[in-house]
Copies of this chain bind each other. A is one copy, B any other.
Amino acid sequence: MHALPRRIRALLFDVFGTVVDWRGSIIRECRALGRKKRIAADWDAFADAWRAGYRPAMARVRSGELPWMNIDQLHRMILDGLLPRFGIDTLTEDEIDHLNRVWHRLEPWPEARRGLTLLKRRHVIATLSNGNVALLVNMAKHARLPWDTVLSAELFQHYKPDPEIYLGAAALLGLEPSEVMLVAAHKDDLRAAQACGLAAAFVRRPREQGPKVKLDVAAAPSFDYNARDFVDLARKMAR
């Protein structure tokens, strides 16, 4: 573990995959929709394809090819391409809009709420997500996530891993980057935060991409903390 140069005052959390189980949540809701609407589709593949469209769509915004679009808009753009590909042609516009907002209704990992509540006792806890503000607020309400505030790429009009979002979040909180720690299950996100001077806590979420995908969840000494989950992180930070 590296020596922390300053006291950590705020913890910023990546959300999709780190706090919530996007894949399991989407598959469950889509299966229920399929039963109700008598749509037989491969919902596992559908969820994976939706998520797979996310990075390329953000890359088009980051490069300037697309104007600023928030994640609700990018999710909808990807969804509009997926529906015909998966042979789904019986949904009304209202149903498609509701489906697009499944990302507002994702379920947290089992210990996430308890871990956040523990971490909140001694730190400011906030999201730092590419998800838009409305999505994150609705998700917090749905999943009872006890954020002190919601910070989003939308506030900076820069998606992770652009430095503007990490530095912008620290500035909005009135803190030096070294007083802020990103908590994420994704090493590339953590490395981008470290390059901006933030501390970094890696949390293992081995099932983020389902049971068949083997993710790199090995602890890395370059991170300030490596934790099994949020409760474990709270225990390690209390030492």
What is A's interface to B at a CB cutoff of 8 Å?
A: 72, 124, 126, 132-138, 140-141, 147-150, 154-155, 172-175
With A141-B148, A149-B150, A155-B155 already in contact, 19 other A-B pairs whose C-beta atoms are closer than 8 Å: A124-B137, A124-B141, A132-B172, A133-B172, A133-B173, A133-B174, A134-B172, A134-B173, A134-B175, A136-B149, A137-B148, A137-B149, A140-B148, A140-B149, A147-B149, A148-B150, A149-B149, A150-B150, A154-B172
Q: Which residues of B contact A154 (CB under 8 A)?
A: 172
Q: Which residues of B contact A173 (CB under 8 A)?
A: 133-134, 137
Q: Which residues of B contact A147 (CB under 8 A)?
A: 148-149
A84 to chain B, nearest CB (A): 26
Query: What are 25 A-B contacts with C-beta separation under 8 Å?
Result: A72-B174, A124-B137, A124-B141, A126-B137, A132-B172, A132-B174, A133-B149, A133-B172, A133-B173, A133-B174, A134-B172, A134-B174, A134-B175, A135-B174, A137-B148, A137-B149, A137-B173, A138-B174, A140-B149, A141-B148, A147-B148, A147-B149, A148-B150, A150-B150, A154-B172
